[in-house]
Structure 1
């Protein structure tokens, strides 16, 4: 896939297959799936529970739909980090869960949300990407211990359906927007798909900054 500005329309057969398996992964995580009505939405939604860094009240938001098992998402962290170093006082970076590659993708997303409950989402986010190749066999508690999280609370959180529903909500939102692959960055009306450069992200940001 080329690294160009594209609209959020990804309805190829391959994408539909990926979404099918992604839905199955999500539906198998909890006994009762919540239904989310995203009919008519055209842009990502910011929630109070959304992991965020940078400016906390900016109208310029970089939404990142990603999977912790996605190699391209790992590669995409460097330009995002560079963007936030330069524009962090003007721009909000919001994480959106789109776990569809493996069962451990869902588990990792939930674990990161549990770290968020203890104020360590981004640190745990970094740990997950660092250990991407072994997420199927690694202990999510080991990352929590490394970050000095309350292990009892963390372990209980991993089984909390309310936390799982936050991940499901992001996933359902992405589907409603037509997003079918990771990483996908959304900035205003612009979607960037796949591994993109600092310059491409900056271009999209500046378009939006100029509009405010």
Structure 2
């Protein structure tokens, strides 16, 4: 069941059973970041297949992390709502301007771009913003780099608490990796607990724009062919 889908304001809907009853087809429902993490494990970067655990950070209009641990009622992993600071350029789906999502999502990057350029012309999509940055639009580059800084702060908190072997950055933001990698890694380095401890490498997802589709496929494959054990 879906306890809460903030973008649609849906609460307590037994979506899987309702769709299954309506279509006669087995239905699996999970968080998109969880599904993307499974896709990354099975279909993504070869480096991930050799690690015991990793974190996937899925950057979209909101922001979430993929994990195996489900928590009570499957609600674990909503790290996009952990507090990062105050006065973010947008509010999150829950209405806060203090959480990671409000500082590091696609909407946050677009808001930063608009703050720099003013209300001139139609607002670009996030992919168009990335294209502008590659075309040497300094406002677009600055918006992405500032967003990468806040991504780094959040990832730093995750790695301190969970100590993964690797971190994957997924979603359309992965296209901007050549532009943001340095800022993200510098932020992680500046916020490490101890320089003597090994740090988890951060990679960009190779699944591209098909991350969510491949995640859905992986959920079906897991249900059909694999035994998925969750803590």
State the TM bucket, normalised to the shorter chain.
under 0.3
**What TM-score, normalized to structure 2?**
0.26
**What TM-score, normalized to structure 1?**
0.28
